[in-house]
Structures are given as C-alpha cells and as structure tokens.
Structure 1
Amino acid sequence: MNLQQLRFVRETANHGFSLTRAAQAIGTSQPALSRGILELEAELGVDIFVRHGKRILGLTEPGKAVLARAERVLAEVAGIEQVTADFRARDAGELRVATTHAQARYVLPAVVGEFRRRYPAVRLTLLQGSPKQITALVLAREVDFAIATEVPDDVDELVSIPSYDWEHAVIVPTKHPLAGQVPTLQALVKYPLITYVEEFAGRRRIDRAFAEAGLKPDIVLAAIDADVIKTYVGVGLGVGIVADLAFDAARDKGLVAMPAGALFGANRVKLAVRRDAFLRGFALSFIELFAPEVDPRTLERLMRGPSRKE
C-alpha cells in the first residue's frame, strides 16, 4: 500500500467515479490509475469499488471505510508538507475564506485590514455564498474557513468556533408611524415586511417568533443582502428586518432602526474549519482577529477533540 494508491481512491470517489476525470486531476494515465486501484484491492483482499463491467458505480461498504481513512492519512501528509512550508515561508502564502454577504460587507473589513497590515505577503481570497455553499466549500477543502451565522454545529468533520452575537433590528423611513417606537410583533404584522430569505441571517428565528405568537406576517420581499432590503424600505415598499450590524445611522440616511432582539433573540456567528486541517501561523492569527476570545490553546484543544463518530 502506498500514498499514491490512496490518492487514486480519493480522486476516483471525488470525481463521480470517473477514472478519466480522476486520472486527469492527479496528472496520470487512466490505465495507471486503474492498475493502482486493482493492486490495492488485491493487497487488501476486498473490493473498494462496485463495478459493472469496466464501469465503477460506487463504493462498497469496506470501500467507504477505506476512503474515510485514506482521506485522514492524506490530510495528515498534507499537514506535514504544510508544516515544512510554514517554516520556509512563515508569513507568506494564501488564505481562502468563504462567508456570507453580511460578514464580508459589515464585519470582515476591519479584520481583513488588520490582517493585511500584519501579513502583507499573504494572498487573501474571500468567496461569498449561502451557508450551505460555504460549508460545502470548507468540507471539500476548497477554502480554509467558513464564516456565517448558520454554520452547522453537528458536522463531525468540522470544528465550529463561536465568535460574536448579534440581534435583529427593525428599520423604517424616518417619518414612518413605527419610527422611534419599541417594536412589537402585533405592530409589525400590520405592515408589509422585507427581510432575509430563509437560509440567511437568522430568518428562521423571525418566522418562529411570529408563528409562536399565532401571527402570519406579510413578507412581500425576501433578499440575501441587507443593502437590498434597506433600499426597498427606503422607497416605501415595507418595514425591514435586518441584522443590527448592517445598519449605520450615518450611512443609512433617511432610515431609523429599532432594536428587535427582544422579539427574535440573539444569533451567533461561527467560524468553521475542518477538524483535520493544518493551520499555519497566519491562519491562526486570522481566527484570533475574528474571534479574539478563542486563544491558540483553546483552538488546539477544539481541533484535536474526539470525533462524534468514534
């Protein structure tokens, strides 16, 4: 058994069981890849893949176990390679962060500014998407971190690091009847509402609050972007419900915001990282900037915590 054979298994599974695409991904020929897999199966005495003729259809039960362990072994090997790279160029490299629009627009600018000041040689890439999309990116090792309110806590492969809490705010034009009032669910339900789509920014808490009060809100527009919500509130389409961090009285002239945490509760933003990831020094520094209460020792303890499946 060798590392290349384990790579063959992983890439075949990751490329929809296409030997052609898997071979292209690792820069080898299809016959060499197929031969390597067959030799590994012969050595182990089990079939890793389900076959129909020359086609591979999926993983056998022992194949699933082999793949899971192969991924862990290859992750450790990648970590060893990164350790040496880290010592060769401690303050250079690339950091890839997947996040939602709200975090990229309202929270990360200060963090990124300080990070760039400390590590000018590090290339920083921000990818935006839905919580499901950015979680998939970190699980696929295409990014180092995923940052969002809706990052899952129950995915075994991920460590979820809490960073800060935020609440919703009700926004209306300055001359609106609700301006300056303490918002209530009973008052809000009388107006058309504009807020986030279901997957974003604590929308489920909003829906649950109205449902528990036996009220049915008239949500006339749902968006993923707080700036879009504020724009349509400004033209009189309805009353907005946004994350409080998305409102700036100096910038959002013509609108007023009222705290709504008492109605919808608090939301927690989390940073997710693969449990088996190797974090270089500048990556740890980014986490410290984003979640200052999480010190390196605490992070290390989280990273080496026992798997829920073990």
Structure 2
Amino acid sequence: MPFRYTLRQLEYFVAVGKAGSISAASEVLNVSSPSISAAINQLEAEFGLDLFVREHARGLSLTKAGHKFLERTEFVLREVELLSTLAGDITGKVQGILSVGCLVTFAQIVLPGLRRGFEELYPDVRIEQRELNQADIFSQLRRAELDIALTYDLDIPADLKFLPLLDLPPYVVLYEGHPFAQRETLSISDLKDSPMVLLDLPYSSDYFLSFFRQADIKPNVAERTSDMSVMRSLVANGYGFSIANVRPLNNLSPDGKKLIFVPLTGDLRPMKFGLLKARIENETNTMAAFIDHCKTTVEAGNLPFLQTTSTS
C-alpha cells in the first residue's frame, strides 16, 4: 500500500510536538496554521491514532503513542537528511547534515563562531549543535546521535578517537579584592586554606581536584556549580576562587563585576582541547572538512578563549 503522507507532514508533526501548539510551530516553520493542522489531521487518519491531546487552554500535548511516533519520526527525518551527506560523498561535495557536540563549559564562546565560519564556507551543510557534559558526549557519539564533538581529553574511552588541537594550561579565577589578586602566578599550596568554587561537571571536577590530590592537600570546597557563568559570578561576589582552562574575552562576570585571572604554576597537566569522534575508517567529506576548518581556525589564532595569561 503506498504511503499517503509526506516528509513535509512529518516535519510539521515534529515541530508541533516540540513547540506544544500549532501556532507556535507555525511561527517556527513560517507556514500557515491551517496547513499544519491539516497535515496533523491527515497523519492521524493515516495511522489510525491520536497523536495529540487537544486542550483548548493549553494547546496540544503528545499522547503516549505520539511520544513514540515523535522519537521515531525524528530518527527517520535525520536518516533522510543523511542521504544528502551520502550523495556528497559520492559526488565529492561537502553537503548535508553534521551533528556537532560541544562541552558546555566553553560552548558559548567557541561553537557559534566555528559554526558560522564553516557554514559560510560550505552553505550546503546544515549543522545541528548540542551543548553537553563530557559523559553525555561519550554516550551520544556511541549512539551515533553526534558525528563529532569539541571537548577536552578527559578520560577518553578506547572506542573513541581524540584529535588534539591545543593545550590549555589552568589558571585561578579571583575576585578583584582577593588577597592574591595582585600575584603574577599562584601554586596549589597558595590556595590551601582559601574557599573554592568548584566547577562541578563530570570528569572536569576530577581534573581540577587532581591538582590538590597531587600536592596532598585537601581543597576547601565552599561552593559547587555545574554552570560556568554561575561559577564566575560566585567568584566575582567573593565566595571563593575557582580554577578553569578557558576564559571569556573580557574580565567581567555575568553580573558585571571584575574578575582576575592568574596562571596556576607547578607540574600540572594542561587540558587538551580538540575533536572527539567514533573510531571509523571512512570519514564523510563533511566531517573531514569540519575537522580541517577547526584546525585552520586554531592555527590562525581565531578562537577567543586562547587568552590564558593574566590581565588586570
């Protein structure tokens, strides 16, 4: 029996499922609400299922069947888009979809610029970006939900391949009035009794705390947060120092207070910033082009977080 629905109707279904209403999906898709409503009705008639519960005050919510259909439909649409990537490999063109993950600690200052530069070079590529912690990056690469990710070399599993791009040594983040704010460098022993704001993310926190274990010092962890911006604001408001390997272009916390960045000295392993991917023999043309773009951008010094020295 031939299919009586189209890929466009499936796209409309996914948009409504994510937006929660036809009007919201209409704005996202720039398609009229009646057209989307008709597509949803036709899909429900074709499958003989109610995909949504209609609630006048709250819009549309997915039924149990609708949730299952949404998950599978997203997979189907992604596979369809990957046909374009396959065609590019056959013809030698760089095109199709590329799913790129990025470690959440530096995604806001790295990924948008890299993405824009790449898409300007290759307008036939559409990048899907995701901001994730290290554990989720590993998981999504293994499930092929990501093609490649920008991250650190933190406990990389043997089944994934890391391509190093840059070494980033650690530095101490301080508020302007901190007793150590005028120091040119600091060591772990200097921080022994000072309260610490720990950036508490999978694998990242272990890396920062390893400095103290190596020196046989117990850190005075006063605050924990998984958000880089919150960490900077806590430091700027005097809740303690923190340790990081990347920094924004300016010295202000999100709430406008000044931060001081002092290099951390000693026999400390720097973070290696790079690309992580599955161990596959044949890369797509699109992935190979993205890897080359990242290497070229780093070599040209065009990533904003490459400032690792103290400025006051």
Query: Which TM-score bucket, shorter chain as reference?
Result: 0.5 to 0.7
Once the two structures are superposed, residues 26-61 of structure 1 have per-residue CA deviations (whole angstroms, 9 ceiling, x without a partner) of xxxxxxxxxxxxxxxxxxxxxxxxxxxxxxxxxxxx
Instruction: Quote the residue 1:209 is aligned against.
Output: 211
Unaligned runs of 5+ in 2: 1-81, 299-312
1:206-251: per-residue Cα shift (whole Å, max 9, x none)? 3222123221111122223321110101111111212233463367
Per the alignment, in what secondary structure is the counterpart of residue 197 of structure 2? strand
| Alignment partners' CA distance in 1, 2:249 and 2:84 | 44
Q: 1:96 aligns with which of 73, 96, 99?
A: 99
Check whether the contact 2:142–2:278 (CA below 8 A) recurs between aligned residues: yes
Is the Cα–Cα contact under 8 Å of residues 84 and 97 in structure 2 kept in the other structure?
no
Could you tell me how far apart the structure 1 residues matched to 2:208 and 2:155 are? 19
Q: Structure 1: any 5+ residue segments left out of the alignment?
A: 1-78, 295-310
Q: Does 1:199 align with 2:199?
A: no
2:150/2:273 contact within 8 Å kept: yes
Does the 8 Å contact 1:102/1:226 carry over to 2?
Answer: yes
Preserved contact between residue 105 and residue 227 of structure 2 (Cα < 8 Å): yes
Partner residue, 1:137:
140
Letter in 2 for 1:101: V
Matched, 1:149 2:152: yes
| Contact 1:170 1:258 (8 Å CA) reproduced | yes
Specify the alignment match of 2:245 in structure 1: 243
Map of 2:177 onto structure 1: 175
- Match of 1:283? 287
Q: State the Cα distance separating 1:253 from its structure 2 match.
A: 4.8
Distance in 1 (CA, whole Å) between partners of 2:158 and 2:216 is 33
Deviations 1:47-101 (A, max 9, x none): xxxxxxxxxxxxxxxxxxxxxxxxxxxxxxxx99954443458243111012211
Q: Residue in 2 aligned with 1:189?
A: 192
CA distance in structure 1 between the partners assigned to 2:250 and 2:162 by the alignment: 29
Q: 1:219 to 1:130 in 2, by over 3 A?
A: same
Q: Aligned partners of 1:83, 1:122: CA distance in 2, in Å? A: 12
Q: What amino acid does structure 2 have at the position aligned with 1:259?
A: P
Letter in 2 for 1:191: S
Q: Which residue of structure 1 aligns with residue 114 of structure 2?
A: 111
Counterpart position of 1:11: none
Deviations 1:252-281 (A, max 9, x none): 751111011536331112312222264332
Structure 1 residue aligned with 2:46 = none
Contact preservation (8 Å) 1:82, 1:280: yes
CA contact (8 A) 1:195 1:242 kept: no
| Mapped partners of 2:137, 2:282: distance in 1 | 19
Structure-2 residue corresponding to 1:120: 123
Note the C-alpha offset of 1:167.
1.8
Sort the Cα spacing of 1:116 and 1:250 in 2 relative to 1 into closer, same or farther, 3 A: farther
Whole-Å separation in 1 of the counterparts to 2:131 and 2:240: 27
Q: Identity rate of aligned residues, in percent?
A: 21
TM-score by length of 2: 0.60
**Does structure 1 retain, via aligned residues, the 8 Å contact 2:85–2:96?**
no
RMSD: 3.0
Partners of 2:102 and 2:129 within 8 A in 1: yes
Q: 1:115 offset after TM fit, Å? A: 0.5
* Structure 1 consecutive aligned stretches of length 4 or more whose deviation exceeds 6 Å: none
d(CA) in 1 for partners of 2:147 and 2:250? 30
